[in-house]
Structure 1
């Protein structure tokens, strides 16, 4: 099919959302016009993004074959405010995350406003694409659970429609840049543990800190690299590691450049995740591509990232299992790194872009819009 022309609407153009869109526009064979707002307070972006972007959308020149929006956009409001601009344009809603199952701070309640935005956007779209099969099933499960509760705001038929038009499109991850920073790992001395996640509550930094203390208490030596963005509310559990493990720290703090981050990945041996959610796992893919061995929960999307033959060695079930798995990775021979690197390469843009181009072509032809009696493939 010849190149088609479309718009991608992203009210939160920052972090992993920005990295994904930059990669998609760079690697797709189709013409994609980006309509976006810079990253900011995410609640404000979800509440106001459709209003703030509507005028710019109406002013876009020419005709479009497709429209893609991220989960941060209130799609029904956007379509209403831009009518009739996209009246006959097929629409995809792409979900990086969702507000149905995103972890909440202890003591806070589920805010149905944002859940409704996600549900109604999925209902209004012609196709709903998720960044992983885990995410697709997780979202559907949340809808089915909510529809059974009293005073809910869903229709059973609406939930069935969303499930029927759901599909999976992996995010692409830029990996080629890592090769220029490759360097031999240390062959002697303690192995290096890497934390390359945000320092906030949803990543369970307290659990990570407890595991380090337990390992240290057993007399197992290690070096520690703490990177990742502190975020808006960095946890004291991470901040305190700098002094508590002062003699073990090889690096502490957000990597000041892409080059420094790349060098840290190649210098590390084991990348640990203690998160309370993971819809995909870009940071884990980057670390694995550089040869880091994962130590992550046996849930969320991690089983899909790690080769199945290594699940029993590197994926943990609870806190005690985390400590045992981490100690084993620090003291026993490590799994073959090349298998992990190849597993990560599955998500490189050169492999993912053709899937996106094919999906965009199908969307532009209106094929997804006709899939109403069964799941999209």
Structure 2
């Protein structure tokens, strides 16, 4: 087997995925372009790869993100046409937010549709990503003045599968503060060990990671998004099946959220940890400094909490690019005494350490198709607060979602007043279902199938 990995935007989650595949799967060849000026990567990468990819009879599969115009590359390199063509959507351009409607470039979305038509298999990192793309195709094509093609959404849907983004969760138990280690060990408050689970059940430890990523023997709440079961090899084989399983095997909790095997304890009223009571709430925001992540909402919320005289500390992490929203500079000055970290942390170890020390991780995104940063923070013991929109209801139970800016502010206000209660809570999100250990067999399967000619 020879897998041709092609990534026109080699950065962030795009880089994470192809690096993981190259490291874990045998006989992969990787061709990339730097993660700069993605608009130009989407427009011109095919011509670059036409010249950069050497001819070879060993190739059997080509795997690329949807930034590449796969149709152009196959037209320019007809020798690649017989390969099994696998396209992976980290995001889709049909619903990608733009600041003004007229700024949306028709060509980017159109290129992704063409790539889907050429591909043999189209993978999405979430149900939300897939459904938002497919349901938007008919409306999107109405932008064409005439001779609009019909039925492309149905044609593409039959090729689609949901393959959650695979994460390699590190063992962060050594970085956890005392109260997070204590709740893993089952020694916080009056909740009994059986409710908390044994020490090895801690999802942050090496033993806990192994337990959380072990293949399950039967269908259950954990297998709905990718854990193996007798009928499934890691990922549902069709989107319809995924939705049926999600509805049938995820009974709601009292608050309407989904249950999970990592669900252990609720927030308790009493707490004997004096230090935990006295230390201010630590809020972390680990996202790109761009408008689609809505830093304005997050920082405005913090400034309102400050005006109310509430005590908290904040770490604003994430990458910055050419244009940084103005709100960051002003907020940095106003929050100065409360800031623990401000800006991108180049050290992975330091980044994980900040997540482990934080209490709450907040998303204010107006665009999110998966959310690697939120899941990494949850793995490090953070309580997640996410919009009740986009991909988040697919991943997080209802108790971790907010519907309005007022709800976000109220939740953070309550946490600022009683951070000890928050620190006793065991987050009920099964991160194991998104681990590479759970999803590996599915990726191997889709990348080791027959060539396009053999199908």
Q: Out of 307, 317, 329, which is 2:403 matched to?
A: 317
Distance 1:55 1:77 in 2: 13
Q: 1:235 Cα deviation (Å)?
A: 1.4
Secondary structure in 2 aligned to 1:352?
helix
Q: 1:240 Cα deviation (Å)?
A: 2.1
Equivalent positions of 1:50-69 (< 5 A) are 50-57=46-53, 59-69=54-64
- 1:220 and 2:310 equivalent? yes
Change (3 A) 1:175 1:205: same
**Aligned pairs, how many?**
357
Report what 1:196 is aligned to: 286
Q: Out of 120, 123, 129, which is 2:123 matched to?
A: 129
When the two structures are superposed, what TM-score results if normalisation uses the length of structure 2? 0.74
Change (3 A) 1:241 1:358: same
Q: Does the 8 A contact of 1:295 with 1:326 survive in 2?
A: no
Report what 1:151 is aligned to: 145
Report what 1:347 is aligned to: 434
Distance 1:345 1:226 in 2: 26
Distance 1:269 1:284 in 2: 13
Distance 2:143 2:346 in 1: 47
Distance 1:80 1:180 in 2: 52
Q: Out of 388, 397, 412, which is 1:298 matched to?
A: 388
Q: 1:343 Cα deviation (Å)?
A: 1.8
Q: 1:152 Cα deviation (Å)?
A: 6.5
Q: Does the 8 A contact of 2:135 with 2:153 survive in 1?
A: no
Q: Out of 340, 343, 349, which is 1:259 matched to?
A: 349
When the two structures are superposed, what TM-score results if normalisation uses the length of structure 1? 0.88
| Mean Cα deviation higher: 143-152 or 183-192 | 143-152
| Mean Cα deviation higher: 294-303 or 208-217 | 208-217
Report what 1:23 is aligned to: 20
Give ranges in structure 1 of 5+ residues lacking alignment.
371-377
Q: 1:337 Cα deviation (Å)?
A: 5.2
Equivalent positions of 1:161-180 (< 5 A) are 161-176=155-170, 178-180=172-174
Report what 1:48 is aligned to: 44
CA displacement 1:173-201 (0-9 Å, x = unmatched): 22115445333356232110001111111
Q: Out of 422, 426, 430, which is 1:334 matched to?
A: 422
Q: 1:39 Cα deviation (Å)?
A: 1.5
Change (3 A) 1:206 1:215: same
Runs (4+) of structure 1 moved beyond 4 Å? 335-338
- 1:240 and 2:330 equivalent? yes
Secondary structure in 2 aligned to 1:63?
coil
Distance 1:234 1:71 in 2: 26
Change (3 A) 1:44 1:365: closer
Equivalent positions of 1:355-366 (< 5 A) are 355-361=442-448, 363-364=449-450
Structure with greater Cα Rg? 2
CA displacement 1:133-171 (0-9 Å, x = unmatched): 110011012113224556267522222111121111111
Distance 2:166 2:146 in 1: 35
Report what 2:66 is aligned to: 71
Secondary structure in 2 aligned to 1:247?
helix
Q: 1:304 Cα deviation (Å)?
A: 2.3
Q: Does the 8 A contact of 1:181 with 1:259 survive in 2?
A: no
Give ranges in structure 2 of 5+ residues lacking alignment.
180-274
Q: 1:87 Cα deviation (Å)?
A: 2.5
Secondary structure in 2 aligned to 1:224?
strand
Report what 1:283 is aligned to: 373
CA displacement 1:43-75 (0-9 Å, x = unmatched): 111111000011222x24342221111111011
Q: CA RMSD in A?
A: 2.2
| Mean Cα deviation higher: 47-56 or 213-222 | 213-222
